[in-house]
Amino acid sequence: MNGLQLIATGGALPGRTITNDALSRMVDTSDAWITSRTGIRTRHWCTEDESAATLAIAAARQALDRSGLAPADIACCVCATLSAPDATPSVACQVQAALGLPENRPALDINAACSGFLYGMAVARGMLTTLGGQYALVIGCEALSRLMDPTDRSTCVLFGDGAGAAIFRLADTTFALTLGARGSDVLHAGGPSREGSAPITMDGKAVFRFAVDALPKCLHTVLDETRLTLEDLSWVVCHQANSRIIDHCVKALHADAAKFYKNMDRHGNTSAASIPVALNEMAEAGLLKAGQKVSCIGFGGGLTWGGMLVTYSPLSHCQLSQRVSALK
């Protein structure tokens, strides 16, 4: 067994909803300016009592509840984030404690920025194949509002907070995963070791050029590896950075725009959380159906990029019954 199936999702959004009009009272911008350039209309920011960790716990608990599995079934927990509230304990360890996951299983954070959820899947798959187990919990969570300069209109209008979680099953199935990186500071956020830790800065034009190159390459790679075509996919879920990036690639691919899910109008750019938040929204809305093949494409800070092709396969009542019987 060397592939992964998506069996359940969960999500969590923080309590503050920030509209473009609200931002226009903070910086020199307008709803029309933001919407026309990004497609973003609202985003969610953490309240004082919320963090990337509290959101991750809520999203993970929801995914576990929906999966029909027990905490003991989870063989590893991987959390992708660049905005963890603490250097240690990691967000993944906080999730392990909150959900009562087994103590003899690995739990760790990774940072690949906006590609983090896909990197997390790769790490989880590797741990399942080397350490054993069948089910992995992978989370993407961010509190980017804590890293922003609220006076920089080029960045403060883009980013939001949130968390998405997914449970994957190791199985013999159609699956592909590609990852890559090229060190560059065109998208940068200072860390705690830097004096006067710098907020998020970005060379927007350079990031756009990178994204519109990376997105179709990742998609073609996973399609070629599985010998499928774009027509075989039910959905393409890209990192929700900017509507114009996705629109540009849809046009270049001569693709059906309806297959490319978008939600940045409601959430903005939530970095590592954007893909799992989108998957969870789709599952909740009934857009994801059992047996559908989905490609997820990430690109962002690092620079990093990644692509995945996975089948949505929630566990049936029969499978859950067999699992319970095996435990008796």
3-state helix, strand, coil in the chain (%, to 5): 40, 25, 35
Tokens representing 74? Answer: 């989870």
Q: Are 144 and 111 in contact (CB under 8 A)?
A: no
Tokens representing 129? Answer: 């194949």
Is 269 part of the annotated catalytic residue set? yes
Phi, psi angle pair for 17, to nearest 5°:
-105, 125
Is 242 part of the annotated catalytic residue set? no
Q: Are 184 and 303 in contact (CB under 8 A)?
A: yes
Q: Are 178 and 192 in contact (CB under 8 A)?
A: no
Q: Which of 76, 77, 79, 114 is catalytic?
A: 114
**167 φ/ψ sector (left φ>0, alpha ψ -120 to 50, else beta):** beta
DSSP letter at 314 equals P
Q: Which of 79, 218, 239, 267 is catalytic?
A: 239
Is 114 part of the annotated catalytic residue set? yes
**Is 33 strand, coil or helix?**
helix
Q: Which of 20, 242, 269, 280 is catalytic?
A: 269
Catalytic residues: 114, 239, 269
